[in-house]
Copies of this chain bind each other. A is one copy, B any other.
Amino acid sequence: MDRLYTVTELAAELGVTPRTIRFYEVKGLLSPKRAGTTRVYNHRDLARMYLILRGKRLGFSLADIKEYLDLYGADTSQVEQIHLLLGKVRHRLGDLELQRRELEETLSELREIERQAVAALKEKTGQA
């Protein structure tokens, strides 16, 4: 149905403040249509915001995220452009795969701590 949103509505939808959304626009991450001076967001803007927020949860800076967003719908009209895109995509894939490895390590360490805590608990509570 291609709903339209004001900043406030979009913000409410996403659990952020309007200020945040306007800030992202200043930073070049969004560029909504305008009805006069009023910002009007559509489903594409909403989708973009989801990507941005996920990027943030993954610990990326807005600058990183901007580059990442530019990978979607990049210009592939010229072979040169595609090569450039591939380079960037693969670089980012490398970053993410490193992050995943580190995440896995951290997860196992925490699980080990959990295991030890559970064991200690069993002992203390006399469940020999």
Chain A residues with a Cβ under 8 A of chain B: 54-55, 57-60, 71-72, 74, 76, 78-79, 82-83, 85-86, 89-90, 92-93, 96-100, 102-107, 110-111, 113-114, 116-118, 120-121, 124-125
Contact = CB atoms under 8 A, between A and B. Distances in A.
A120 B89 CA distance: 14
A118 B87 CA distance: 11
Given A58-B59, A96-B106, A103-B99, A90 B114 contact: yes
Nearest to A76: B120
Contacts of A92: 110
Contact of A107 (B79, B100, B104): B100
Nearest to A84: B117
